[in-house]
Structure 1
Amino acid sequence: MPTIEELPDVRDLWEDTLGDPGLTIGLVESLPDLSHPCFAGADLTLLDPGWLPETPVDDFYMLHATFVASVLFGQHDGPVKGLAPRCRGVVVPVLREEVTALDPMNYARAIDALLDAGADIIHFAGGQPTVSDGTDELVRRAVEKATAAGVLVVSPAGNDYGRSRRTPGMLPQVLAVGAMDDQGRMFNFSNWGPQYRDHGIVAPGGNIVAAVPGGGTEARKGTSVSAPIVTGVAALLASLRRARGLPADPLAVRDALLAGALPCTPEQSRGEPDRCLSGRLHIPGARRFALDPGVVTSAREPDRPPQVYALGVLGYDFGTEARRDSFTQAMESGGPHDARRMVDHLEAHPSEAKGLIWTLNLELTPIYAIEPAGPYAADVYELLVRLLSGETAGEEHADYIERIAVPGRLTGRTVRLFSGQVLPVIEVEQRRGVYGWEVNRLMSAAVRAAGGDERAVQGPLREFLTRVYYDLRNLGATSRDRALNFAATNAFQAAHTISSAVAQGMALDTIQVEKSPFCRIDSDCWDVKLRFFDPENSRRAKRIYRFTIDVSDILPVTLGDVRTWVEP
């Protein structure tokens, strides 16, 4: 009975990464027993499925959820070592008993909830059997929406002996997972067929030991065991891509898993090659393809470096003690860690800005190293010094800068900070688009542009900006995230939208970003939707405001006018 760490090549992958805390795995599951000691210290969040009535959770479904969650998030100092213990997990406990486990509306709402929660990978533990190969339209649209947002959906192929298929696993956008036994042979019950062939992979699913409710462990088998193994490996590969300076791009990881899969021998496939879907999980092959720029998906262009439009706080680092000491000796007063003194020094000696490692920080954690490049590099360095000066100004000062927006390109290179942390490097070739959030000036100008009451507009506008930065924080590497970050930076348009809603007594409810169905040729357009509700009247219709952003260029642009409508 193998444990997770005994699976082939898992330990080697753990030497590279245990998961990125900024990468979110969403689970469409039941309610796991989070009191199990294997989850102590795990970053796990439960989302309340408010659309479901209060119903008890069947013991089988709780066991299933606890087992799957431990395969993914079990901490390595506990009784079950999960595959991606440092990744963030978000669970929507919607599979409570047979009725909810087969409800397509429930499926679709769970996927939407995880997209709103910022999931990068969605593990869909349930599945609806079908012999007609049909899929409910709500589920199909939800999966297409996830794929358009660059989110990978993984789901079991099912345990129906091939007599039927399981949806959403049979949908072409989903990575379906079959199961092999302890000897590497396909289980007879693992579903197969042409519906899975081009987007399915098989993995160990026989007698794997993981957590069960009450604090114990148990060996289980089936595609519900093999599927979270593939989800965990996908999360580790996406984390490793990010550590190497590439966007996580879960869809590229999906392609890498399929490209790296090994064919089954006749013995392994029991003489029926279709049982093996696209092949067997092979972590070294998937790792090679995941880090190879030749693996292309719709989320990443093959002919140019990946683009970034990221938000954060500007900082600097020295890299080495020698570099720090050279600044200490050169500065006339104050230490090099005093940002205000550093600004004074760099304004007097502009060329020394090149000697620093400039960083973009998200909630005190550096996420990128900023490297000005090209003929305008000196201008960019000058701008970075000015932005740092604004960050050191008092919060009431007109020039105060709360955070910055940086458009750039990932180079594939990394740099090591003084602390030992390794950061991906983004190149910034021109000043255009590098923007400081001068919040005091922005608030006043945005209110004037919106023509609204200052007191009524500033609060909701501040809430919008804060929510994008803290609640929907991201690395700005996917098209969806670049559109969201640009929407926050382009606050004049947001102010016009918010002031109109506030004037009607409404408050911001949700911010949604989805692929736009209409776009220019060779562009990448996304719709940003702001949904407002009346906090004093729940029966009042919600109002939607939508604006479209094209992120195909390194600096996004807004297309057309704001559109608005109501929905019940």
Structure 2
Amino acid sequence: MKPRAILGEGALHAQPGQPLGDPRVCVALLDGPVDLTHPCFAGADLTRLTTVVQEPAGQGPMSRHGTHVASLLFGMPDSPLTGLVPRCRGLLLPVFRDGGNGAHGGDGGRVPQLDLARAIERAVEEGAHVINLSGGERTADGQADPLLARALRLCEDRGVLVVSAVGNDGADTLQVPAAHPSVLAVGAAAADGRPLDISNWGAAYRTHGILAPGQDIEGAAPGGGLASLTGSSFATPLVAGTAALLVAAQLAGGGAADPRAAGQTLLTTATAPDCADPDAPDCRRRLGGSLDAVRALAHVTRTRKEETAVTTPAAASAPVPQEATAPQQAVAPAAAPPPPAPAPAPAPTPVAVAVPQAPAPQTPAPVPAGVTADGGAPAPPPVAQAPAPAPVQAQVQPQVQAAPVPAPPPAQAPEPAPAPTAYAPTYAPSHSGVRPACGCGGSDPAACTCGGGDVGTTGGRRLVYAIGTIGFDYPTEARRDGFRQQMPYVTTTVGEEEVEQEPDPYNVTQLHDYLLGAPWACDKLTWTLVMDGATVYALEPEAPVAMDWGQPLVLPEEAQEKRKSVAELAAAKDKGLDEIIAMLSSPPVSTVYRVFRDAIVGQAINVERQEDKRADYISRVSIPGVLTDRTTRLYSGQIVPVVEVKSRGVYTWHESLLVDAVIHQITEEAKKENTEVRNMDELRLTIRAFLDKIYYQFRNLGQTSADRALNFMGTNTYSFSNLLAQGLLSASKVPGSSKNLYALDTITVTKSPYCRIGSDCQDVTATFYDPEDERRSRLSYQFTIDVSDDLPVSLAPYHTFLGSY
């Protein structure tokens, strides 16, 4: 069946506005690589964005999957296949890779939720209104990884609709991101409207899930052919495409683009399950109802007409000027009046951060868990292979059948309109990761397996300001063994004898000592940024310029001869004699490499057992840089994007020392304000709770403007400690007699209304309250951060005002 025929070709063309979509509407497709040489894409406005999957489309299962799904959306009129929204702007973000072995490592059909979060954030920043994801990872509780949950929250805040498949295990099970409450979940139905046996269901989908046709859906195949496939993978673009048509209808009616209202319309107009007992097994399989595209489109059009016809009673008998009407959003209770001209994208709203639990993979069926492309019957178990990174994908192969397709009737071309503008390694079982919702070849459920050009990338630098710890990796065994052979032997004491042992290239102390004297080996490692055990970036320092050592370079023998002068220097610098000798005899190295080299040792110091090393302990590192279009493969097989790290803003710090500094400042300020600090332990816990919000609850990839501003606020020691001190002592600034210490309530980040020309300014607002008397007014502190450069900067002093933001 062809996609437009499924939804009612005649009814779609009868709709006013743009029956084939609108160039102002942007749809992002997160799937496998797409064969853009297929005739159905000729003339389509499609842009492939850079992701961790950089291979071109081929004949593999994920390329078949991605090409098929893309054609259901973007197939052009008068081509072998007409999609639902060929006139919309399309963003292609490959997340599923064909390769399951060899250089790519791991299992091509699965990706980590981390990579999915990267792609979602990129799609939002590039101006997507609707995001189609025909895949997911099965979990026990439907909870997404915190970074993926944050990306979905970003979509919710920006008004972007995410449409995702429920999966094809044929079981009462949840998978993310479909189970997330802000996502429109899609299950697969047969031609008669009944749920396919392979389509998943679950309690979470009852409120935000619908069924759509998913059996024998005809689409493009790599190489120029056509294929009929079955599964929730191919039901999902029918829903995403319909949502994009609703957004086009909103714009055609003079309103603003409201994708989330479009998604709500699809839910409210869906045909309700016809069953007496909503908890009956057959009824639960029907989710929240079945897609009724014609009814949804008619609802948007009718609502718009009714709103534009509203008049006041006094003026009912006379024509009403257009200015007197009060149009509202087509679908959304209490929606604000739209602007007179269509808006290409919703305005940004405060960034609030959710912290769901990390997903716990479950395996109730023989289908391996992981975010995969959904579709068809359970996929065969993955083939055994070499160790791979945490998110590894299962290989699945669809059976693709080409079929001739009659040419569609000529479509009415839409009026052109401007497009919106945007803006240590992880190890896990080989079955984890996001997999595509694989499809079936033809109508035979027993044959269900997964199946499915470069057109440039967007310009501009993609800045990153992230927080984490430094890790290192050897890209190959040969590189690791090369380090082992170059590093000096180490002497250890065994009993009463000293024995020389072969060096360990994974021992951070031995590696640090080797790099200290051989800085030219620093770029032979793969340096990484790690967040709670997950490797998120490969770090590549910018080229050093005008590097100045600042110390005389002497050989160890010369230093020993000048032992007296060296000892005096050691005393002056409060360092050991051997340390000074090593410093003087070590060649220069770039600032970034020096931070990396020292951080791997500082992070490994046992603070409890070595109190004298407490000041050298490193718990966090800030990384400012530019996200390149390149990726690198780690020894484990995981592929991560490369960030070019800028020397300015690379800092290391120890949280406990920061807490001590803040406590000292608070006690000094408390004396001036006549505020009593009753319990120092409680104060320490309060400050640590604030830090935990920044470093754990608000953990992010540091890609969006809001996240970079938040991360910079958490690493700017002066502003950060001053904010904490002033916030906790807010009682002296609020009317009332209480002298209690205030506590942190919320942190929000919003686009600043005041900014310099050519800059990107964000307002970071921290609100504090009196935990012992909530009747007292809250006090908010607002910092404006300019994040337009690789190193963010604070603008002017912070502002203070009563009440919450």
Query: Structure 1 length normalisation: TM-score?
Result: 0.58
CA contact (8 A) 1:461 1:495 kept: no
- Is residue 2:533 matched to residue 1:441? no
The corresponding residue for 1:362 is 531
Unpaired runs of at least 5, structure 1: 27-36, 48-68, 94-122, 127-152, 180-188, 191-204, 228-235, 237-264, 279-287, 295-301
| Post-superposition offset of 1:20 | 5.5
* Superposition deviation, residue 14 in structure 1: 6.7
Is 1:341 aligned to residue 523 of structure 2? no
Equivalent residue, structure 2, for 1:135: none
* Pair 1:74 & 2:230 matched: no
Match of 1:305 in 2: 461
> What TM-score does the superposition give when structure 2 sets the normalisation length?
0.42
- 1:29-428 to 2 correspondences below 5 Å: 40-41=139-140, 43-44=142-143, 72=164, 74-78=166-170, 87=177, 90-91=180-181, 156=243, 170-172=255-257, 174=259, 214-216=284-286, 219-222=290-293, 267=409, 273=414, 292-294=456-458, 302=459, 304-331=460-487, 332-333=489-490, 334-376=503-545, 378-396=590-608, 397-428=614-645
Question: Structure 1 pair 172/213, CA: closer, same or farther in 2 (3 Å)?
Answer: same
1:496 to 687, 708, 722: 722
Does the aligned pair in 2 maintain the 1:170–1:176 contact within 8 Å?
Answer: no
Query: For the residues of structure 1 that align with 2:757 and 2:601, how far apart are their CA atoms?
Result: 41
Tell me how far apart the structure 2 counterparts of residues 212 and 565 of structure 1 sit (CA, whole Å): 56
2: CA distance, partners of 1:409 / 1:39: 33
1:178 CA drift (Å): 9.9
- The residue that corresponds to 2:761 in the other structure is 525
Structure-2 residue corresponding to 1:10: 69
Partner of 2:712: 486
The 1-side partners of 2:697 and 2:717 are apart by: 17
| Cα separation, 2, equivalents of 1:490 and 1:529 | 15
The answer (yes or no) to whether the contact 2:470–2:530 under 8 Å persists in 1 is yes
SS in structure 1 opposite 2:591? helix
Give the counterpart of 1:461 among 681, 687, 698: 687
Residue 544 of structure 1 contacts residue 566 of structure 1 at CA under 8 Å; is this kept in 2?
A: yes
Deviations along 1:208-231, whole A, 9 cap, x unmatched?
Answer: xxx99624567433289999xxxx
User: For structure 1, which segment, 506-515 or 347-356, has the greater mean C-alpha deviation from structure 2 after superposition?
Assistant: 347-356
User: Distance between the aligned counterparts of 1:345 and 1:266, measured in 2?
Assistant: 68
Question: Residue 277 of structure 1: CA displacement?
Answer: 13
Q: Which has the larger radius of gyration?
A: 2
The count of aligned residue pairs is 396
Deviations 1:69-98 (A, max 9, x none): 99625245445999xx654864269xxxxx
Distance 1:347 1:433 in 2: 22
Question: What is the distance in 2 between the residues matched to 1:522 and 1:70?
Answer: 31
Distance 1:223 1:21, change over 3 A: farther
CA RMSD of aligned residues (A): 5.0
Q: Matched residue of 2:637: which SS?
A: coil
Kept in 1: contact 2:96–2:111 (CA 8 A) = no
Task: Provide closer, same or farther for how the CA distance between residues 323 and 427 of structure 1 changes in structure 2, counting only shifts above 3 A.
Answer: same
Stretches of structure 2 lacking an aligned partner (at least 5 in a row): 7-30, 32-63, 72-93, 98-108, 122-135, 147-160, 184-206, 211-239, 273-280, 301-370, 372-406, 420-452, 491-502, 546-588, 609-613, 670-676, 732-740
Q: Which amino acid aligns with 2:696?
A: Y
SS in 2 for 1:44: coil
Amino acid at match of 1:10: V
Distance 1:400 1:168, change over 3 A: farther
Residue 369 of structure 1: how far off its partner (Å): 0.7
Query: 1:413 is paired with a residue of what secondary structure?
Result: strand
State the alpha-carbon separation in 2 of the partners of residues 223 and 314 from structure 1: 54
Residue 382 of structure 1, CA deviation: 1.8
- C-alpha distance in 2 between matches for 1:401 and 1:467: 19
Query: Hey, what does 1:545 align to over in structure 2?
Result: 781
Q: 1:351 to 1:7 in 2, by over 3 A?
A: closer
1:563 is displaced (CA, Å) by: 1.4
Contact in 1 for aligned 2:624/2:646 (Cα 8 Å): no
More strand by share: 1
Contact 1:309 1:407 in 2 (8 A): yes
Give distance in 2, aligned partners of 1:382 and 1:427.
15
